[in-house]
Amino acid sequence: MSQPAAHLEALYHEHAPELLRYLARNAPTSADAEDLLHDTFIEAARFDERIEEAASPRAWLFGVARNVAAAFRRRLQIRRAAPLLGDVADARSSAADPRLEQLRAALEKLASPFRETLELRIRDDLSYAEIADVLGIPVGTVRSRLHAAIKTLSDELVPQSESQSSEPSP
């Protein structure tokens, strides 16, 4: 086995499970997610010299997976699939916790760039630098998007009476 093929195989074994979870949120079926995973590594093989140059091969692979999934959705004209809390609510009984529903609603209100950045941080446990690589944006933009997302969620989730009562009276 050649050196690049062995390196790509090692990357596959190391990162395929987390990439598959990421792609499953972006595909309508698990079979589609598996196809997208294979397409991701086919693309990676086409540009194997870029993996060698990447500061983080993991982040580079997430970027490739993101582009492969976006092309797939464009071809099928599919909107982004599962929201950040999709798995949590499905696992609970039909009498869902109202706080969870409130959080889901708040997450759905986030603009797509903020939600995607938050998902990469929380669900995929990527570092700020890795998120920047995946999205092709500066680390400072990652920080500001995460800050804005958390501020928006906080404003949405903290009842107005609580936020007003914590402020000193004039």
Tokens of 55: 């500061």
Is 121:146 a contact under the CB 8 Å cutoff? yes
Is 63:134 a contact under the CB 8 Å cutoff? yes
Amino acid at site 13 = H
* pLDDT value, residue 75: 85
Angle at 145 between CA 139 and CA 149, to 5 degrees: 150
* pLDDT value, residue 96: 63
Scanning the chain, the segments in alpha helix (DSSP H) are: 3-24, 30-46, 48-53, 57-76, 86-91, 98-109, 112-122, 128-135, 139-157, 160-165
The string of pLDDT tens digits covering residues 58-113 is: 999 999 999 999 999 888 875 554 555 555 444 444 456 777 788 888 888 899 99
* pLDDT value, residue 79: 53
* pLDDT value, residue 95: 53
Tokens of 75: 């071809």
Model pTM score: 0.68
The string of pLDDT tens digits covering residues 26-57 is: 888 999 999 999 999 999 888 877 877 878 88
Burial class (CB in 10 A: 0-12, 13-18, 19+), 159: exposed
Does residue 144 have a pLDDT over 80? yes
Domains within the chain, CATH numbers bracketed: 1-81 (1.10.1740.10), 84-159 (1.10.10.10)
Please, what's the b/e burial string for 82-110 (b: 16 or more CB within 10 A of its CB; e: otherwise)?
Answer: ebbbeeeeeeeeeeeeeeeeebbebbeeb
Does residue 160 have a pLDDT over 60? no
Q: How far apart are CA 167 and CA 170, in angstroms?
A: 9
pLDDT band, residue 161 (cuts 50/70/90): very low
Q: Which of 15-24, 96-105, 161-170 has the lowest mean pLDDT?
A: 161-170
